Structure 1
């Protein structure tokens, strides 16, 4: 049931910590109802946040997330595909398990939830899909072996453009935010200095840098099919 007439609703994947948690807080501040999902997410204290525990690579999780949004709020306006995993290894060191895990979360997860959310984004009349990708898909770096990231996130960049064009005349926009290295619990503090050196600006990104980029795209009705690089200049060169 919709709680208040016209309240918009955002679905955020990978929502329990780091960038995902920052996005949940930001959309709440905008007045959105939020459905937040991850494998480890706990119950929310805020009645305008519904949490759904599950593996995003599972079609069942996508079903439950979309159902939860419709049951609690009656609509979906924005989907943020934030769940992702990054495994940096020399190509020949990747295992079959690595491949299954990275493609499962990054690609299969994107497919299941985006396909199920899209009819509801169309129904809202001004839907928006934002997918978090990596700048390494455009600008490989010999210091960071990242074939699986490029294989999966590069595909998501292309899929973003394809979705944008397919739905451009029907009120749904699709954009991506391609990241450099962001300071999140994923990166131990002792690695920060080395990681900062990957960026021309010489520092790591902050969660707030990513949130600001997503909120810009949310408020930009003429922007679709955009791959917005939030990467301290990495995409421009080294």
Structure 2
């Protein structure tokens, strides 16, 4: 029964995403890259935005060799002028995914004010700026999905948590503001996962961090990137979900 249900779910996703135009902002690595791969496999027409010319070129060429229609654009999505220019030159999209945002450690008292401000800016205001630029270019019935997060504590991840909470509020507001055209807004909230966001850690530090997070997670492990990516695909595929934050955190938010 379980296998049959999984097959049916995949068939529905294929039907709903086939030939859909999907834009992934931050699609050259981590969650964004995996969402691109899963969407391409479901027959979607995928475009990605990334800051690294080399990463983007390699990924696009790799997929073209597999006969997938992947398009790529190099730009800094935190720059409003670049975003405005991009959308003015491109057609409408059915779904837009954003993995924009960083991370930070440190509480409210032991962190520099500038560091807290930057974490909130990178997480919330950059995504708000994207929404203002992108929503007019989403087809009726389409969606925009952001990246929030769970886990951590205000005492050791102050700015990041404020940014995540702001994203959660943003999707609720956008869901109501966009309802006239049946456009949807949601967010995926993973807990810590070993992605490129932590590229500055050594291998030993990465392994240690993963062990620490796994020990605090009800399921006893960290997420696989494809597990988190499938949540974005689900939110694109389900036309009756809006204003929601989907936690993909192994039960961290419940503990």
Q: Which structure shows the higher helix fraction?
A: 2
Matched, 1:103 2:120: yes
Specify the SS of the correspondent of 1:77. strand
Closer, same or farther in 2 for the Cα pair 1:51/1:25, shift >3 Å? Answer: same
Q: C-alpha separation between the residues in 1 aligned to 2:146 and 2:119?
A: 15
Q: C-alpha separation between the residues in 2 aligned to 1:186 and 1:117?
A: 24
Alignment partner of 2:81 out of 55, 60, 75: 60
User: How many residues end up aligned between the 2 structures?
Assistant: 222
What residue is the counterpart of 2:41 in the other structure?
29
Per-residue deviation, 1:52: 2.2
Closer, same or farther in 2 for the Cα pair 1:63/1:30, shift >3 Å? Answer: farther
What residue is the counterpart of 2:137 in the other structure?
120
Alignment partner of 2:101 out of 84, 95, 114: 84
Unaligned regions of 5+ residues in structure 2, if any? Answer: 1-17, 199-205
What's the TM-score, normalizing by structure 2? 0.79
Q: How is 1:72-221 mapped onto 2 (pairs within 5 angstroms)?
A: 74-121=91-138, 124-136=139-151, 141=153, 145-187=156-198, 188-221=206-239
Q: C-alpha separation between the residues in 2 aligned to 1:234 and 1:190?
A: 18
Unaligned regions of 5+ residues in structure 1, if any? Answer: 1-5
Matched, 1:12 2:30: no
- The answer to whether the Cα contact below 8 Å between 1:178 and 1:227 also exists between their aligned partners in 2 is yes
Specify the SS of the correspondent of 2:128. helix
Q: C-alpha separation between the residues in 1 aligned to 2:42 and 2:122?
A: 28
What residue is the counterpart of 1:3 in the other structure?
none
- The answer to whether the Cα contact below 8 Å between 1:16 and 1:37 also exists between their aligned partners in 2 is yes
